[in-house]
């Protein structure tokens, strides 16, 4: 238990890790010690007494009206923001992370659904396409990739720009 307390303090002092990452490190260590004990290695049970403080994370999401303010923007004179808006709205409609959107290929689209292996969890999923998502894919049907994905950094910068245009300016 003393080691866990010291290790916890060490991780905090680094000032580069967030609470979730620190808790994950401590949880992984506890799992490893449990595994070692199960394999016959002599491990002091006091590590079980160290409690990892879990924080509930605030979920940040657009309201429906904010989503439609972005979706309904007239961006016909700005191809860059038009494409970023489409990728963003598509990801909102299907619930995929940027890493999964960026790996999408035409072969992942099967009629009115997407089938792919999620990058983060390595799980195969099937995602239904609603009318908004399907129409966005149709808009780019002549391109090699189903969506005009750019770098994550530029994507995030442009989404901020979109939100300003849509007058979504609550500081988060």
In the predicted structure, residue 1 carries a pLDDT above the cut 90? no
Q: Which residues, 6 or more positions from 126, have their beta carbon under 8 angstroms from its beta carbon?
A: 113, 114, 115
> What pLDDT sits at residue 171?
75
Interval 134-169: pLDDT, tens: 999 999 999 999 999 999 999 999 999 999 999 998
The answer to whether residue 81 scores a pLDDT higher than 90 is yes
3-state secondary structure of 67: helix
DSSP E strand boundaries for the chain: 109-110, 113-117, 124-128
Lowest-confidence region among 44-48, 109-113, 145-149:
44-48
| DSSP state, residue 66 | H
Q: What is the spatial distance between Cα 21 and Cα 97, in angstroms, rounded to a whole number?
A: 19
Measured in degrees and rounded to the nearest 5, phi and psi for residue 164 equal -65, -45
pTM: 0.71
Per-residue model confidence (pLDDT) at position 54: 73
- Cα 35 to Cα 47: distance, rounded to the nearest angstrom: 13
Q: Provide mean pLDDT across the span 6-10.
A: 86
- Enter the tokens of residue 136: 């966005």
Q: What is the mean pLDDT of the chain?
A: 91
């Amino acid at each position: 238990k003393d080691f866990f307390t010291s290790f916890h303090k060490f991780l905090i002092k680094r000032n580069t890790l967030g609470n979730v990452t620190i808790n994950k490190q401590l949880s992984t260590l506890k799992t490893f010690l449990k595994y070692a004990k199960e394999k016959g290695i002599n491990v002091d049970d006091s590590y079980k007494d160290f409690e990892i403080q879990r924080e509930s994370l605030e979920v940040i999401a657009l309201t429906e009206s904010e989503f439609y303010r972005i979706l309904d923007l007239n961006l016909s004179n700005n191809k860059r923001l038009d494409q970023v808006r489409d990728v963003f709205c598509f990801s909102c409609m299907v619930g995929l992370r940027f890493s999964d959107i960026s790996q999408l290929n035409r072969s992942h689209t099967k009629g009115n659904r997407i089938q792919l292996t999620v990058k983060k969890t390595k799980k195969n999923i099937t995602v239904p396409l609603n009318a908004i998502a399907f129409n966005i894919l149709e808009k780019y049907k002549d391109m090699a990739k189903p969506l005009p994905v750019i770098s994550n950094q530029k994507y995030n910068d442009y989404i901020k720009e979109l939100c300003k245009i849509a007058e979504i300016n609550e500081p988060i």
